[in-house]
Amino acid sequence: MDQTLMPGTILRDRYKIIELVGQGGMGAIYKAEDLRLAGRYCAIKEVRPEPRASSSMLAQAREQFYREASTLARLDHPNLPKVSDYFSEGDYDYLVMDFVPGRELKEIMDEARRQDRFLDEKEVLTWADQLCQALEYLHGQDPPVLHRDIKPSNIRLTPAGAVKLVDFGLVKLLVPDDTRTITVLQGRGTVQYTPLEQYGGDTGHTDARSDIYSLGATLYHLLTGQPPPDAKQRFLEPGSLPSPRSLNPNLSFQTERALLRAVEMHPDQRPGSVAEFRAELLSQSSAVPGLLSLSAADERMWATALRENRTLITIALTLLVVALVVTLFSRPLPTTPPAVTPPPGQVEGIASPSPGPR
């Protein structure tokens, strides 16, 4: 069994472990005190090697860890924790980041569900805007950086009202023509938020659209209170994804359309970039809600609705036609005006001559 670090343990003669924050199959995250900078607290991610890995694989894994960690250390964005240090002790590698105070969005969402209410759409979209900015920044690096584990429990709302994508547990560098399969910081995403192409691990082809799926699934969960069915289930059972408005009728049509497009099964049917998704989700339109121009996702949604309700639509149209026919043929026929009786002494159509003088 993997042993976690005990409170009071000091790493690298600098970081004093305070408590275990989270733990998974690939490692653990601790809250620690920086003994060199009084009053500073940090989060330390402990990355454990693959079980039964050969010595050559371990060497490759460590090399990959240092390459990725050095990339993360160069990142600087208000919605991402700052990576300040990285090192190895024994078989384990460690990544040191700012400790982000606040609550996980999962905690906030679970609390709302216990109170039988939905999170406010406007507030969630404010969070979405910040997350989109963070992902645009990551994807805009050279080479681009993918997160690959976006979910409510990996997002913290700070006391100042900002959200931060706190866990780099599945970050991946997109290096052209690099076909090596090395799992270091990478792992397996949480199934409800993982696109189908990511199930192959590093052997699957993932790009920015994979993060878009995870972000869309995360927002779907926050706004409806229910996680979307996992991608494997959706592949085996087409149509198993409930529309967001069927779960939360208060959602806007625009938000629903953007979410459904973000979680399309095939990457080509999703927005091509986070900027495109952000525009679809957050742009204001002067058109009447529900009468906006149809996108490809809209057309698919309407086609599905028509197929599923074909019988009801047929009955409704039939009743409409019958009602029109009954209305037309039940109108009263025009009546003939009553005959006018001519006055005495007048033949119909001929004036009677006036009597002459006698």
Q: Which residues are known to be catalytic? A: 149
Please say whether the dihedral angle defined by the alpha carbons of residues 216, 222, 224 and 226, taken in this order, is positive or negative.
positive
User: Residue 33: helix, strand or coil by DSSP?
Assistant: strand
d(CA 174, CA 171): 10
Burial of 39 (0-12, 13-18, 19+ CB in 10 A): exposed
d(CA 45, CA 88): 11
CB 268 within 8 A of CB 213: no
CB 147 within 8 A of CB 186: no
* 24 strand-pairing partners: 27
d(CA 83, CA 167): 11
Query: Phi/psi class of residue 161: alpha, beta or left (left: φ > 0; alpha: ψ in -120 to 50)?
Result: left
Nearest CA among 6, 8, 130, 25 for reference residue 77:
130
Nearest CA among 44, 145, 48 for reference residue 95:
44
Could you please report the per-residue DSSP string of 138-207? HHTSSS-EE-----GGGEEE-TTS-EEE---TT-EE--TT------SS-----GGG--GGGGGGGGS---
What are the CA-CA distances from residue 142 to residues 80, 165, 275 (Å)? 17, 20, 17
Residue 82, C-beta contacts closer than 8 angstroms, at least 6 positions apart: 75, 76, 97, 98
Could you please report the per-residue DSSP string of 83-124? EEEEEEETTEEEEEEE---SEEHHHHHHHHHHTT-PPPHHHH
